[in-house]
Chains A and B, each alone.
Chain A
Amino acid sequence: MKDVNGVELTIFIVFFAAVTVVGFAAARWRRGQTIMHLDEWGLGGRSFGTFITWFLLGGDLYSAYTFIAVPSAVFAGGAMGFWSVPYGAIAYPIVFLIGPRLWSVAQRHGYVTAADFVRGRYGSRSLGLAIALTGILAMMPYIALQLVGIQAVLTVMGVSGSGWAKDLPLFIAFALLAAYTYTSGLRAPALISFVKDALIYIVIIVAIVYIPTKLGGWDGIFDKSAAALAKPNPATGKPAGSLFTSDMTHWAYGTLALGSSLALFIYPHSVTGALAAGRRDVIRRNAALLPAYSLLLGLLALLGYMALAHPGVVAAVKHAGNPQLAVPELFDQVFPDWFAGVAFAAIGVGALVPAAIMSIAASNLFTRNVYTSFIRPDATPEEETRVSQLVSLLVKLGALVFVLGFDKSLAINLQLLGGIWVVQTFPAIGIGLYTRWLDRWGLLAGWAAGMAYGTYTAYDQASPTQSHFGSPLADIPFVGHTGYIALTAFVLNMVVAVVVTLVVRALKVPAGRDETSAGDYTADAGDRLAAPEDPAGELTGQSA
Chain B
Amino acid sequence: MSETSPAPASPAQQPPPGPSPARKVVAGVLLVAPFAVYLAVPTYAKDGPHVAGFPFFYWWQLLWVVLTAVCIGGAHLLTRKRGAAK
Name A residues whose Cβ lies closer than 8 Å to a Cβ of B. 79, 82, 85-86, 88-90, 92-93, 96-97, 217-219, 221-222, 243-247, 250-251, 253-254, 257-258, 280-281, 284-285, 287-289, 291-292, 294-295, 298-299, 302, 517-519, 522, 524, 526-529, 531
Contact = CB atoms under 8 A, between A and B. Distances in A.
Contact of A291 (B15, B54, B55, B66): B66
B82 interface: no
A88 B68 CA distance: 10
Contacts of B52: 218
Contact of B76 (A96, A295, A528): A96
A517 B5 contact: yes
A99 B1 CA distance: 20
A528 B7 CA distance: 10
B53 A295 contact: no
Nearest to A296: B65
B65 to A, nearest CB: 5
A219 B53 contact: yes
A96 B53 contact: no
A295 B55 contact: no
B68 A89 contact: yes
A292 B69 contact: yes
Given A85-B65, A302-B58, A524-B12, A288 B42 contact: no
Main secondary structure of the interface of A (DSSP, over half): helix
Nearest to B40: A254
Nearest to A281: B84
A341 B63 CA distance: 31
Contacts of A528: 8
A243 B76 contact: no
Interface string B33-72: 0110011011001110010111101100110111011111
Contacts of A294: 65
A519 B2 contact: yes
Contacts of A522: 15
Contact of A254 (B12, B41, B70): B41
B68 A250 contact: no
B28 to A, nearest CB: 10
Given A257-B38, A519-B2, A531-B8, A222 B68 contact: no
Nearest to B6: A529
A222 B51 CA distance: 12
Contacts of B5: 517, 519, 529
A519 B15 CA distance: 9
A526 B76 CA distance: 21
Given A281-B86, A517-B5, A519-B2, A90 B68 contact: yes
B69 A527 contact: no
Contact of B34 (A90, A243, A253, A531): A90
7 contacts: A85-B62, A92-B72, A254-B38, A254-B41, A302-B58, A517-B2, A526-B8
B69 A92 contact: yes
A524 B84 contact: yes
Contact of B45 (A96, A97, A245): A245
B76 A284 contact: yes
A176 to B, nearest CB: 34
B53 A218 contact: yes
Contacts of A218: 52-54
A88 B47 contact: no
Contacts of A244: 45-47, 55, 57
Given A89-B65, A243-B57, A253 B3 contact: no
Contact of B62 (A221, A257, A289, A298): A298
B65 A295 contact: yes
Given A96-B72, A243-B55, 16 more contacts: A86-B61, A89-B38, A89-B65, A92-B69, A93-B75, A219-B50, A222-B55, A257-B38, A287-B72, A288-B70, A288-B72, A289-B69, A295-B65, A295-B66, A517-B3, A527-B10
A38 to B, nearest CB: 22
Contacts of B84: 280-281, 524
Most interface-central of B12, B31, B57, B69 (chain A CB within 10 A): B69
A302 B69 CA distance: 21
A288 B69 contact: yes
A302 B57 CA distance: 12
B32 interface: yes
Contacts of B39: 86, 90, 254, 257-258
Contacts of B69: 92, 288-289, 291-292
